[in-house]
Structure 1
Amino acid sequence: MIDRILVPMDDSDHAERALEYALENFPDADVTVVHVVGAPSMMMGEAASLALADDFEAAAAERAEGVFERARALATDRGREVDTVVGVGHPARNIVDRAEGYDTVVIGAHGADRGRATRRFLVGNVAETVSKRAPVPVVLVR
């Protein structure tokens, strides 16, 4: 039985459809929406990274709020609630690490990089990596 579902979300249509799929097909499961924000990189320069690090967690939470508002609205429309969590770092790695403790991951086949050439492929980079490395079953939603 599937009791806990992790749904990674960004601002893509596929991510929204993944959440809709999870809410409709697993009506009794607890759903957690994760939005992963990339961390400042040392490539930016040490001083810039350190300056950003102080406010980065707050900025990441603020950036994720728009995604979470949409997720909560979708859940409310279906008489459901979702938990939300902000991840920081590399999206695929963060999702795979976080998947431990969940029964399944439901992820959109493509993320918000709609303008890139990767769009023509069947599965986006993050979704492909998560599907290959997650310690739990992964449902890809197109």
Structure 2
Amino acid sequence: MVSRILVPMDDSDHASQALEYALDNYPDGEITVLHVVGVPSMLMGEATALALEDDISEAAARRSEPVFERAHEIANKRDRAVETAVGTGHPARRILERAEEYDCIVLGAHGTDWSRATRRFLVGSITETVSKRAPVPVVIVR
């Protein structure tokens, strides 16, 4: 039985669709939306900016707010609630570190378009990495 579901989200449409899928297909499941801040890039943009903050945890939480607002909107339309969690660093690593706490992971096929090529170049596809290494079932939503 699937009772705890992890839904990693960024601001992409695919991530929103993954949350919608999880809410619709696991009506009794406890869903946690995870947003990871500090994605590595060729110029280390977001990761460097985050590292320069006085309080990294507070800055990461602040940067996660728009994603969590969207997640709560999606859940509220279905009269559901979701928990939220913030991670920092490499998204695939943070997702995999939490994976054993859940019965499955539901994630979008692609993340934000502007960063996908950079992520693939530096670290490979997050979706691909998670689907290959996760210790629990992974549902990929298009």
Question: Same fold judged by TM-score > 0.5?
Answer: yes
Q: Which consecutive residues of structure 1, in runs of 5 or more, have no partner in the other structure?
A: 119-123
TM-score normalised by the chain length of structure 2: 0.84
Paired residue type of 1:104: C
CA offset at residue 57 of structure 1? 1.2
Q: Which runs of 4+ in 1 moved over 4 A?
A: 48-51, 114-118
Structure 2: state its 5+ residue gaps: 119-123
Structure whose alpha-carbon radius of gyration is higher: 1
Q: How high is the sequence identity, in percent, across the aligned residues? A: 66
Q: State the partner residue of 2:121.
A: none
Show the counterpart of 2:91.
Answer: 91
SS at match of 2:33: strand
Partners of 1:25 and 1:111 in 2: CA distance: 21
Report whether the alignment pairs 1:73 with 2:73: yes
The answer on 1:60 being equivalent to 2:60 is yes
SS in 1 for 2:34: strand
Deviations 1:36-66 (A, max 9, x none): 01179xx97xxx7897253221111000010
Structure 1 equivalent of residue 135 of structure 2: 135
Change (3 A) 1:100 1:24: same
Alpha-carbon offset, residue 113 of structure 1: 2.7
Q: Does the 8 Å CA contact 2:53/2:59 hold for their aligned counterparts?
A: no
Superposed CA offset, 1:62-121 (max 9, x none):
000100000001001001000000001100011011111100000000001357558xxx
TM-score, normalisation: structure 1: 0.84
Q: Does 1:36 align with 2:31?
A: no
User: 1: CA distance between counterparts of 2:66 and 2:50?
Assistant: 26
Question: 1:17-36 to 2 correspondence within 5 Å?
Answer: 17-36=17-36
Query: How far apart, CA to CA, are the structure 2 residues paired with 1:33 and 1:84?
Result: 5
SS class of match (1:34): strand
